[in-house]
Structure 1
C-alpha cells in the first residue's frame, strides 16, 4: 500500500467552498487591466523613508475607495430584481494570512468606512489583524465564534449555501456581515506574473496581482515601467457596460496619479 498522510481540513475552507459555489452564479463581468504604478510606487517608498508606516496594500485600498466614491453604483447590492441599494460608506473585505495550528489560513478582515479613513489608519488595522493571536476556535468572521457559527460547520453543504443565498438577497444583512467591496491579493504573495480571476459574492471584487517591470510606450518613447496586474469583477445586474468602462478608466487614473497621504 502506498504511503500517505491525512491533514485536518481548516474550517475556513468550508466557508470558502460555499462562497465559491454561490459566487459562480453571480453575473460578474471580468475586467483584466494593467496599471502603471511607477510614480505612485516611488512616492510610497519615499513616504516610508520619511518614517511613515504605510504599505502598498493600504494605499491601494484607499485608491480603490476613492474611485468607488465617485461611481457608487458599482458597489450596490441588488434587492429583489430591480432595486439597487447603495450604502454611503465603503466597507472592504480582505483576507489576512495567519498561522493557525501550523497552517497558513486566510482570515477575513472587514475595514469599515475606508472612504473616510486615512491610509495610515487603514494600515494600522491591517497590522493589528496580522498580529492578533488566533486559535482553532476563531473562524470566518474574524472574531471568536459563537454557538450559531460553530453549528454552521456541521450542517450539510446545501443548508449552508442557503445561508449565503439569504445573505446576498438581503443587502443590509450582507453589508453588515461582509461589507460591499472585496479585495484579494493572492497574486502578491508569490512571484507568478499574471492575472488571476477570483470568485466573489460581493457586488465588486478586486484581484490584485504582482508588480512587474516591463517596457511601455510613454510619450512616444519606450520606458521600463512598474506595472500592476489587476482583475476587477463587476456585477452586471446593477451596473451597465458604459458605467463599467468609465469606472475602470477612473480607477486606472486614480491609481496612476492619485497618490495622497491625506484622509
Structure 2
C-alpha cells in the first residue's frame, strides 16, 4: 500500500505553527489530486492546501488543532481507486416500493471557505448545490444563490396544506441562549496586537475635516476618460494614498518608526490599506506607492483587497508597511480613533461623506464633508507635526490639482 504524507506547508520565515481551520474532504473519502484538502490559518492569513495526489484520505488531526509547520496532518492511500459510477441501467431501474434508496453525496461538491460559511448559515447541504468552479467547486456566488432560492411548499410537492396550529410558547431553558466557540488564530493575533498597541504606544488622535467637492467634481469630469485609458475608475482611496505620500514627504518623522531607543527613518513609502474580511481586518501593503500613478494604485488596491477577502493573501503582502490608511466610511462611520499598526507610528482614518452646512467666503453653503482622523505615537511625533501633517492631507484632498491625474 503506497501512502503519501500530507504536511503543513511553510507560510513565512517567522511562522512556526498554524491552525487546521477545516477539512474539505471527509476522513476515509476519496480525493482527486489538486482538489482543496484543508484550510490552514496562521497569525497572518489563511490558505487552502490541495491534495498532492489522488487517493483515500486519513485525517491525523482534528479541525481547530494547532500544528507545527512541516507536521504531517493526513495520509493519502494512493493505491485506492475512485468509487465507480453506477451503471446507467441500474440508475434507471425502478426502485422497490416502501423505501427510497439514499442518494450518494457529490464528491465534487466542495465549497470554498466563504461558500461553506454561507451554506452553514443558511442550513443548506453542499451536496444539494451545483458548483460552477473548477472541478465542481462551490463558489461563494453558488452558495448565495442556493441560500436565496425559494423553498418548495408542501402544496407544490402534491401534499395537502395542513392548517397552521399555534404551538404554546415555552419559556427558554437555561444554557440554550448562548453558544461558545474558540477564537480563530487570526482573531487571537489581531486581539493581541491591538492590545499591545494600546499598551506599548502613547497614542493620541487629532481630527480635521475635508471638503470633498473638488474630488467629486474631478471624478465626474474625468472618470470616463480615465477609465477608458487606464481600465479602472478614479477612487477616493488612491487620492488619499497620494495625499498621504505628499504629507509624509513634508513631515518625514510620521513615516519613521521606533526601534528601542533609536528612530529609524524610512526613505520609502509602502502604504498599508486596511481591508475588512470575513476573518477580520487585514492590512495588505502597496509597495513603492510613491512611484505609482493613480491608476496603478487603484489596480494594486483592487488586487490585494480581493486576495485578502478570498483568503489568498500571502504573508509578505501583509508585512513591512510604513503608514496605514483605513476607511471606516464604507460602513457608515462618521468619526473614529484608529488604532496604530505597530511598528508604524501613525495611521489615517477616513470616514463617510456627509453633506453639511459650512461657511465659505462668509456664506453658509452645503458641502460634502469628510472627517479625518490621524492617530499617532506621541513618543515620536509631537502634536504640532501631527496637526500640520493632517492639514497637508486636507489641502491635497481639497486641491487635487496638486497631485495630477494621469489622463
TM-score surpassing 0.5? yes
- Per the TM alignment, residue 7 of structure 1 is displaced from its structure 2 partner at its CA by 5.1
Aligned positions, number = 222
Which of 52, 59, 74 is matched with 2:239 structurally? 59
- Contact 1:206-1:233 at 8 Å conserved across structures: yes
* TM-score normalised by the chain length of structure 2: 0.50
Does residue 1:199 correspond to 2:339, yes or no?
Answer: yes
What is the distance in 1 between the residues matched to 2:251 and 2:315?
35
* 2:289 partner SS: coil
User: What residue number does 1:84 align with?
Assistant: 263
Unaligned runs of 5+ in 2: 1-173, 228-232
User: What residue number does 1:35 align with?
Assistant: 210
RMSD of equivalent CA atoms = 2.5
- Per the TM alignment, residue 106 of structure 1 is displaced from its structure 2 partner at its CA by 3.0
- Per the TM alignment, residue 85 of structure 1 is displaced from its structure 2 partner at its CA by 1.4
User: What residue number does 1:189 align with?
Assistant: 330
Which of 172, 187, 190 is matched with 1:13 structurally? 187
- Per the TM alignment, residue 6 of structure 1 is displaced from its structure 2 partner at its CA by 4.4
Does residue 1:111 correspond to 2:111, yes or no?
Answer: no
- Per the TM alignment, residue 222 of structure 1 is displaced from its structure 2 partner at its CA by 0.9
- Contact 2:335-2:371 at 8 Å conserved across structures: yes
What is the distance in 1 between the residues matched to 2:288 and 2:202?
26
Unaligned runs of 5+ in 1: 146-175
- Per the TM alignment, residue 132 of structure 1 is displaced from its structure 2 partner at its CA by 3.0
User: What residue number does 2:250 align with?
Assistant: 70
- Per the TM alignment, residue 227 of structure 1 is displaced from its structure 2 partner at its CA by 0.7
Question: Larger relative contact order (C-alpha < 8 A, sep ≥ 6)?
Answer: 1
User: What residue number does 2:314 align with?
Assistant: 143
Seen in structure 2, the aligned counterparts of structure 1 residues 131 and 77 have a Cα distance that, compared at 3 Å, is closer
Deviations 1:166-204 (A, max 9, x none): xxxxxxxxxx9331101111x222234x21112112211
What is the distance in 1 between the residues matched to 2:255 and 2:226?
34
- Per the TM alignment, residue 37 of structure 1 is displaced from its structure 2 partner at its CA by 1.5
* TM-score normalised by the chain length of structure 1: 0.75
Seen in structure 2, the aligned counterparts of structure 1 residues 135 and 223 have a Cα distance that, compared at 3 Å, is closer
Residues 85-234 of structure 1: pairs in structure 2 closer than 5 A: 85-98=264-277, 103=278, 105-132=280-307, 142-143=313-314, 177-185=319-327, 187-192=328-333, 194-200=334-340, 201=342, 202-234=344-376
- Per the TM alignment, residue 24 of structure 1 is displaced from its structure 2 partner at its CA by 0.5
| Farther-moved stretch of structure 1 (242-251 vs 26-35) | 242-251
